[in-house]
Chain A
Amino acid sequence: DGGITQSPKYLFRKEGQNVTLSCEQNLNHDAMYWYRQDPGQGLRLIYYSQIVNDFQKGDIAEGYSVSREKKESFPLTVTSAQKNPTAFYLCASSMRDRGLTEAFFGQGTRLTVV
């Protein structure tokens, strides 16, 4: 089955801890994205990557880091510098720059600070 897999589904972080959210896709998509969603809010872009070994900051990149060593994988690290990390994190992917591209989402990771 082709798709985007995020893990874990639920994640708990202690104060001062770094945590990494996994995102893997087997759709052969070039571009991958990380969004954050807070209750009652829309999607805010954290980071995105259009090709391997390259990524760009989105609107709210502070306190987050990413890597793109493989086309299939785009992990997101939430660092201790992110002061309010509790949110629903969504990974998405799309074909790159075909002019008409839509994005598909994984099932999300819900992160809670304890």
Chain B
Amino acid sequence: QKEVEQNSGPLSVPEGAIASLNCTYSDRVSQSFFWYRQYSGKSPELIMSIYSNGDKEDGRFTAQLNKASQYVSLLIRDSQPSDSATYLCAVYSGNTPLVFGKGTRLSVIA
């Protein structure tokens, strides 16, 4: 069974710091990797996609992928209280629905 693992948290960081969120996955043939942000009581919102090894930057967000280690991470620079949410890692392995981790709850302290 395909699995996506995340530390449930909460991860607490002070405002302005870098938040680092991690995710591991079990299926070696996984092709595409996504990070979703979910505020309490709301639906998930796609914030980053990454498909090849290395780093991908978008504003304050950087996604990092290491397929050899089956590891994907999300860095949030200059964290703001508005970044406080649950972050879901999702993995696509071809012709099957996305598999989601249980999410990491991030709390940014002002």
Contact = CB atoms under 8 A, between A and B. Distances in A.
B95 A105 contact: no
Nearest to A110: B41
B43 to A, nearest CB: 4
Interface residues of B, number: 22
A103 B100 CA distance: 11
Interface stretch (A11-19, A39-47, A62-70, A77-85): A39-47
B32 interface: yes
Contacts of B25: none
Nearest to B45: A105
Contacts of A74: none
Interface string B63-96: 0000000000000000000000000101010110
Interface string B86-110: 0010101011011011110000000
Contacts of A106: 43
B26 interface: no
A42 B34 contact: no
B22 to A, nearest CB: 15
A90 B94 contact: no
A33 B32 contact: no
Contacts of A97: 94-95
A20 to B, nearest CB: 19
A107 interface: yes
Nearest to A90: B43
Given A97-B95, A100-B32, A101-B92, A43 B100 contact: yes
Interface of B: 8, 31-32, 34, 42-46, 49, 51, 88, 90, 92, 94-95, 97-98, 100-103
Interface of A: 31, 33, 35, 40-43, 45, 48, 50, 58, 90, 94, 97, 99-108
Given A100-B51, A103-B98, A105-B45, 7 more contacts: A43-B44, A94-B98, A97-B95, A102-B92, A102-B98, A103-B90, A105-B43
8 contacts: A33-B98, A58-B97, A90-B44, A99-B31, A99-B32, A100-B49, A102-B46, A105-B44
